[in-house]
Chains A and B, each alone.
Chain A
């Protein structure tokens, strides 16, 4: 498992929770909350999808706005355990 597939997984999670957004227009470092691609209220669905793809429960301490800054950060914070597999 490498970093780019983590990013692809985050993109598939985002597509599942927000089918109406144009993900091609969102780069891996676009600030998601700041640019209002998602709001903090969308995060609940996103977390459940991330738990599903990672097969792991999310640690409550990770649930701060900074963890959801952009696609790259989400992949690193929530899916990085897979990198070592």
Chain B
């Protein structure tokens, strides 16, 4: 992708961001949790299909769906908080004003996403699950670090969007849960579009100087990051808040249940084909 084509894409994305502003202040929040409603698509709940899941009755499953929504929104908040700070410090430092113009929209949109995710968590659970991420140190190569940042963001957003897309259409969900997933999906489509094109653009620019050793390092880094992203979807505190006994023991085995492994494989297969095509992830 040439610089001219990339700049044109950035200008177009900025224009759409300017036109289609979503105001989180317009959301209508029910006063209370509805114990009879789903807040997370049951088939996407981290324990779905496991022995524990089979042992829960309908009311317990719905209680777990609320805790899973809070976990999902919390992990989004922490991911967004990190990317806002990392992107912000890279704004307006070079010649690439079209890039900075778009990235400022990116940051602005992520800040608004945090408002509704936090709005949900604080209203209905009075908590945001803590962030357990330890961020590695930069390599010192500014272009490489920026590339890795956006590659990680892309992995993170592809998985999140899989969930958003399904929950936005799931009529079993409480309207507020559906709506949050719908508006997030709507704006994230641009971030995903940007991310894929940014990565391709960088790889084209570095076709000669990023050798096979470097490319293997990128693949290792992103493949480990992908595993890390998935770990955040299994949280012992979530199970505890849903009233499940022996939450820590449940957590220890949750990610290894056959249905959980199959679920992650399917999502990876579906959502990460572009990154595999760029040879940024190990083959599925």
Q: Interface on A for B, CB 8 Å cutoff?
A: 16, 33, 39-45, 47-48, 52, 57-58, 60, 63-65, 67-68
Evaluate contact between B248 and A65: CB separation under 8 angstroms: no
4 other contacts beyond A44-B132, A48-B248, with CB at 8 A cut-off?
A44-B232, A48-B236, A58-B130, A65-B136
Evaluate contact between B251 and A40: CB separation under 8 angstroms: no
Nearest-CB residue, chain A, relative to B130:
A60
10 tightest CB-CB pairs across the interface, nearest first?
A41-B228, A40-B136, A43-B134, A44-B132, A41-B224, A40-B134, A47-B132, A63-B134, A44-B231, A52-B248
Evaluate contact between A48 and B225: CB separation under 8 angstroms: no
Q: Hey, which chain B residues are within 8 Å of A57, CB to CB? A: 130
Q: Hey, which chain B residues are within 8 Å of A16, CB to CB? A: 252
Evaluate contact between B134 and A64: CB separation under 8 angstroms: yes
Bound-state CA distance A38–B231 (Å) is: 15
Q: Does B277 contact A (CB under 8 A)?
A: no
Q: Hey, which chain B residues are within 8 Å of A40, CB to CB? A: 134-136
Q: Hey, which chain B residues are within 8 Å of A39, CB to CB? A: 136, 224
Q: Hey, which chain A residues are within 8 Å of B130, CB to CB? A: 57-58, 60
Q: Does B89 contact A (CB under 8 A)?
A: no
Nearest-CB residue, chain A, relative to B248:
A52
Among A41, A43, A44, A45, the one with the most B-chain Cβ atoms within 10 Å of its Cβ is A41
Evaluate contact between B133 and A63: CB separation under 8 angstroms: yes
Chain B interface size band reads 10 to 19
Q: Does B131 contact A (CB under 8 A)?
A: yes
> Which single member of B137, B224, B232 contacts A65 (CB below 8 Å)?
B137
Bound-state CA distance A40–B228 (Å) is: 9
Q: Hey, which chain A residues are within 8 Å of B231, CB to CB? A: 44-45
Q: Hey, which chain B residues are within 8 Å of A63, CB to CB? A: 131-134
Q: Does B26 contact A (CB under 8 A)?
A: no
Q: Hey, which chain A residues are within 8 Å of B135, CB to CB? A: 40, 65
Q: Binary interface profile of B, 22-38, with partner A (CB < 8 Å = 1, else 0)?
A: 00000000000000000
B216 to chain A, nearest CB (A): 14
Q: Binary interface profile of B, 96-134, with partner A (CB < 8 Å = 1, else 0)?
A: 000000000000000000000000000000000011111
Q: List 18 A-B contacts (CB under 8 A).
A: A39-B224, A40-B134, A40-B136, A41-B225, A41-B227, A42-B228, A43-B132, A43-B134, A44-B232, A45-B231, A47-B132, A48-B132, A48-B251, A63-B134, A64-B134, A65-B134, A65-B135, A65-B137
